[in-house]
Amino acid sequence: MSTTSLSVIVKRICPQAADILSFELVPAGAEALPACTPGSHIDVALADGIVRQYSLCNGPGEDGGYIIAVKREPVSRGGSAAMHERVREGDVLSISLPRNHFPIDWSAQSHLLLAGGIGITPLLSMARHLQAAGAGFHLHYFARSDQHTAFRELLASPDLRSKVSLHHGLSADEVKTCMQGLLASPAPMQHLYFCGPAAFMGLAADLAQPVWPAGSVHMEYFSAPVSDAPQGSFEVHMKRSGGNCIVPEGKSIVEALAEKGIMIETSCEQGVCGTCLVNVCGGEPDHRDFYLSDQEKRDGDKILPCVSRSRSPVLILDV
């Protein structure tokens, strides 16, 4: 959770799909909430020390509060269950300032948006802002059924319905065939944005990589795929603090540094949100995150120590 927090009141909770609730959050005090941009997310602090990230769904002019949507996951790590079962209208929650690691590139001539399931949340905000700006875009939304399609009325509104295609109940092969057609031939100066479950994200990334120009593909993971990469030990040298520590198999850099009294702020602890980002001063990182761009990973001067490790015997960090 960010060190700067805001207190908000849950003004309204609305069902948006069979397993998705939206939450309207308004200021708990007299001061207005900071402005947000499409693609932004906030951290929400819940009971038992649980902190989760949720994308903002706000459209243009909706600056009186923040709107998030939460899917009730069948196997919840605690966050979605708490939001659905414990949070009630009138409750006061602590949230972070909005952060945006998934912004619209306004230099593009057109925008292709692909949403899978609850991945609609940041892309809905993007679509609403692009529509208001008169920008060219189309949103494709893949969901299990009409009942599992969040924000159906909004997507069917006169402003958006001609720019939205809904894909319901497709098999894995049908999703792949559809996405192959969508991604095969990008238009000049077109940019791609996608968000959804890990398998959906992997498919979109694999199909886009060979044909879409560098810098034109934007993605945001809600959770990281499970990794089976080796977990060998290595040494971290703390440049600013001095000293060294061994990061053993099965322990993250964040955990190893904490045992030495070096505390790094974290949030998702899955390599998704970017909260724990630190600079690398020497050695070769083994990037296992889903936050840094391919170019940033090649540069090798940053690392997300909550999940990433080291290819070299010693990694020098600016901590």
Residue 3: pLDDT over 90? no
At 292 the pLDDT is 85
Q: N- to C-terminal Cα distance for the chain?
A: 19
Domains of the chain in sequence order: 5-96 (2.40.30.10), 110-221 (3.40.50.80), 234-317 (3.10.20.30)
The confidence band for 75, taking pLDDT boundaries of 50, 70 and 90, is low
At 130 the pLDDT is 98
Q: What is the pTM of this model?
A: 0.81
Give the gyration radius of the chain's Cα atoms: 20
Q: CA-CA distance, 82 to 65, in Å (whole number)?
A: 21
Closest listed residue to residue 265, CA positions, set 60, 5, 48, 62: 5
Helices (H) and strands (E) in the chain, counts: 7, 18
Where does 1-47 show beta strands of DSSP type E?
A: 5-17, 20-27, 41-45
Residues 6+ apart with CB under 8 A from 136: 109, 110, 111, 130
Q: What is the pLDDT of residues 219-254, one digit of tens each?
A: 998 766 656 667 889 999 999 999 999 999 989 999
Q: What is the pLDDT of residues 129-177, one digit of tens each?
A: 999 999 999 999 999 999 999 999 999 999 999 999 999 999 999 999 9
Task: Give the helix/strand (H/E) hosting 65.
Answer: none
